[in-house]
Structures are given as C-alpha cells and as structure tokens.
Amino acid sequence: MSIAAAIMAATDKLVSELLRLAGNDSPLAGLRAADVRLIDGGVASTEDNGRHESYRSILARAARDAVTVTGTGSAPLEMLKFAMHSTSAMFCELRVSDVTGEIRVDRLLGSFDCGTILNPKTAASQFRGGMIMGLGLALTEETLFDERSGRIMNATLADYHVPVHLDVPEIEVMWTGIPDPRSPLGARGIGEIGITGVAAAVANAVFNATGKRVRDLPITLDKLL
C-alpha cells in the first residue's frame, strides 16, 4: 500500500508519454491518458478495444528501444483525516484432553477487511502465516528468564517453541474485497493482521470447552489442570 501512490503516479506519466510517442499515425491518435488503459502488451481505448497499439509498435515508430518515466506519490493526507486500519474476525475449533489438558486446534477461520486485495495468492499466504504466528502466541511461545541471573533460558529455536506442521490445523481465510475509497488502488495494509485475534479466539474456545478462563498466555497444560 505504501508504494501504490507512487506506482499510480508513474503509470499516469507512462501512459501520457506512450501517447505522445504514438503520434498522429497511431490508432490511438486524439486520445488522452484518461481515455486509455494498458492491456494486452499495449495501449487500448477504454471505449473501443479496436483502437489498440502494442508497445513494440509505438517504440518502433518513435525509434526508441525503451521508455522510462519517474513518478512521485503524494503524501498520504487521507491518513490524517481517516482511520485506515484493516480489521479481522477469527474463529477457532479445538479439542482439550480431559486427562492431560492437551489442546489440539482442529480448524481456524479468518475473515478480513483489508480493502482491495491486489494479489489473492500472496494475501492468503500472509493471512495464514499470521494466523500460525497467532497460534504460537496462544499456545506455545514464551520467553523464559532465569530469576537468579536474568538470562534467557530458551534463547534458541531448539528451546523456544514455535508451531510446527503437526500443530497447524486446516486454516481457511476469506476477505470482503471492498475497496477503500480513500486509499490508493482501494487497498489497505495486511501486515500482521492475521495474528490479531487468534489468541482470543483460542482462549474463548478453551473456555467453551473447559469452563476455565485463561488470561495469561501461552495457554499451557498447567493452567488447565
């Protein structure tokens, strides 16, 4: 999201420069930047797809090998007036052993409102990755200190417990895809929104299963027995 405004500014300049290079002998003659779009390896009219010319043809006529432009995005003034935060709702299904207190998460569902999703594949991966981190926050991750020396007792990944494959359940993600009218391209940041809410969903599911309300993370066996 932070570079979208700059990309949009550069794209506008690129379209204008391509139309200038196309000249009067092009099917695009007479069109302005607002009247065209970049499609199928070239520039086309938004009203008439028949008025189209490839980049190769435009550059060949102009005797150019390439065209380069530089654009600068404007300051995000909308963020000074409006809240631009992404939001999520998390749902968790789990089992708790009545003998050992062991927790097994069977299913996670995350529903997100992050404006326009520009790349569904990478967005889904980011959401799922954050939710896995949220599982670690809820169930396994804890920095342990030696009270006598103040040294960290689990300072390496051999001792600090992060979720592994067998800890990760089926994870489903969905999003609204509703463009934010006040941000470039309608997008908002995803970042670590997948983490937010997972621990609360897990703790609520544990409470629903056991009747014990745990408010000190991670939720370990000793806090349930």
- On whether residue 68 sits in a domain, the answer given is no
Strands of the sheet containing 87-96, edge to edge, are: 87-96, 103-113, 170-175
Q: Both 103 and 161 in a single domain?
A: yes
- On whether residue 182 sits in a domain, the answer given is yes
Q: Both 84 and 56 in a single domain?
A: no
- On whether residue 67 sits in a domain, the answer given is no
Q: Both 212 and 129 in a single domain?
A: yes
Query: In the numeric block, which tokens belong to residue 36?
Result: 């065209």
End-to-end CA distance of the chain: 46
- On whether residue 198 sits in a domain, the answer given is yes
Q: Both 54 and 164 in a single domain?
A: no
Using alpha carbons only, what angle is made at residue 175 by residues 46 and 162, rounded to the nearest 5 degrees?
130
Q: Both 96 and 204 in a single domain?
A: yes
- On whether residue 200 sits in a domain, the answer given is yes
For the stretch 83-127, pLDDT in tens is 888 999 999 999 999 999 999 999 999 999 999 999 999 999 999
Q: Both 102 and 208 in a single domain?
A: yes
For the stretch 130-151, pLDDT in tens is 999 999 999 999 999 999 999 9
Write out the residue range of the structural domain in which residue 23 sits: 4-61
Q: Both 27 and 117 in a single domain?
A: no
Kindly list the catalytic residues.
192
Q: How many domains does the chain have?
A: 2
CATH code of the domain in which 178 resides: 3.30.365.10
Report pTM.
Answer: 0.82
Mean pLDDT is lowest, of 22-31, 101-110, 114-123, 195-204, for: 22-31
Give the percent of the chain with pLDDT over 70.
100
Q: Both 47 and 143 in a single domain?
A: no
